[in-house]
Amino acid sequence: MKNKSLWSSFQGCVIAVMPLVVSTLVSIAAYKFFQRQTFPPFVVMATAVVVWMLVFVITYSIKQNLGEQDHERE
């Protein structure tokens, strides 16, 4: 019971932080890519911020939709 609870807590935590983590990683990758392509610094920074926002919105929406589908199935 304790193990299950630990596992479900871990799963819940990973799923909750997933949009933040994925968007941050993709944003860092975009930042590095545009920096290497010698884009102007402000454009690199703005693109990284915008990519973070975009990926966060997409992953969070997917997570919410999957959660709703699971809820309906139950």
Partner 1 sequence: MNENKNPFDILVRFVQWTMDILARAVVAFLDGMNDAVEHSSSPLFGVVATFLPFALPIPVAFMTATSAERFFAWDAWQAVTLGIGLEGLGLLVWVWLVESLISDDPQLRGASTFLASIATAYEITLIVLNVVLALNDGAGIVFGLGLFLICLLPAMSAAMYGFQRRQTRLNIAAKEAERKAETERLRQEKRQDRKEAQELKLKYASDTKAEAIKTIKPFRK
Binding mask 9-48 for partner 1 (x = CB under 8 A): xx-xx--xx-xx------------xx--xxxx-xx--xx-
Which residues, other chains included, contact 17 with Cβ-Cβ below 8 Å and sequence gap of 6+? none
Q: Strand, helix or coil at 39? A: coil
| Residues 34 and 44 sit within 8 Å (Cβ to Cβ) | yes
C-alpha dihedral (58, 63, 64, 69), degrees to nearest 10: 130
| Residues 22 and 53 sit within 8 Å (Cβ to Cβ) | no
Q: How far is the CB of 28 from partner 1 (least distance, A)?
A: 16
Per CB under 8 A, 74 contacts partner 1: no
Q: How far is the CB of 47 from partner 1 (least distance, A)?
A: 4
Give the binding site for partner 1 (CB under 8 A).
2-3, 5-6, 9-10, 12-13, 16-17, 19-20, 33-34, 37-40, 42-43, 46-47, 49-50, 53-54, 56-57, 60-61
